[in-house]
Amino acid sequence: MTITETAYAKINLALHVRARRADGYHELETLFAFVDDGDRLTAAPAEGFSLTIIGPFAAGLSAGEDNLVLRAARLLAARNGVTAGAAFTLDKRLPVASGIGGGSADAAAALRLAARLWGQHVPYASIALELGADVPACWASITARGEGVGEALTALGDGLAGTPVLLVNPGVAVSTGAIFKAWKGTDLGPLGCGDDLLTLAQSARNDLTKPAIALAPVITDVLAALGGQSGVTLARMSGSGATCFALFECAAARDAAAAAIAAAHPEWWQMAGALR
């Protein structure tokens, strides 16, 4: 029996950094949303644990014990007294270190897969956060407001479900730690509230955009390319970058934008989809 999960790409519709904490983390207010595509993770029963990585972004990724997929599965097994193993195959389709939660999404998919494989309940609140601040959000993979370090989640419904989205990465990997370190430490104010999620996101910001641009100036070009397309309702950098995204009024506008950007910048990675 082989089963599969999609590790859905995460985007931050908004990301307000409020303060540095004494433990080195940052207090955040964010709007998580997820695209209907991402990495693919499969699992089959096995005596031990193994991981094979394939796909366009497999190069440079370690399949060793420190990989989040294996760490997630081993942690779930240990917490639930599971003695079985799992053989994983990760089809790595999302760029690495790109602000769209690739590693966290893979870990979350591993938790979901292993739970299905072994018939276990996933106490994600305790397990997921041990694997990373974004893993709880990626485990749920629904539109949600995140606070704390991003782990305190409030579901926001499916008001944006089906919204056409285009993700673009200029082929530059950036360090999340370096971006947060470069944040100036100025609290620019809270994330607002409201039932209209698009309006709320449009009125918000990503506080990591400026420090990310300082380290990877090409992000400015990506934002300009996306923001200049017809039918765009929101264009913003996701997470700590360098991936940026745009939401569109309709799929035709998204597809036209994808074609135009691909023609102008064939070296840039992109993924067209819709919000879950």
Instruction: Provide the residue-wise pLDDT of the chain in tens; the chain has 276 residues.
Output: 899 999 999 999 999 999 999 988 899 999 999 999 999 999 999 999 999 999 999 998 999 999 999 999 999 999 999 999 999 999 999 999 999 999 999 999 999 999 999 998 766 767 899 999 999 999 999 999 999 999 999 999 999 999 999 999 999 999 999 999 999 999 999 999 999 999 999 999 999 999 999 999 999 999 999 999 999 999 999 999 999 999 999 999 999 999 999 999 999 999 999 999
Which domains are delineated in the chain?
A: 3-154 (3.30.230.10), 159-274 (3.30.70.890)
Secondary structure (3-state) at 13 = strand
Q: Which long-range contacts (CB under 8 A, 24 or more apart) does 46-49 make?
A: 46/84, 46/85, 46/86, 46/87, 47/84, 47/85, 48/85, 49/73, 49/74, 49/85, 49/86, 49/87, 49/88
pTM here is: 0.96
Catalytic sites, residue numbers:
10, 134
236-263 burial code (b ≥16 CB/10 A, e <16): bbbbbbbbbbbbbeebebbeebbeebee
Taking the CB of residue 193, how many other CB atoms lie within 10 A of it? 7
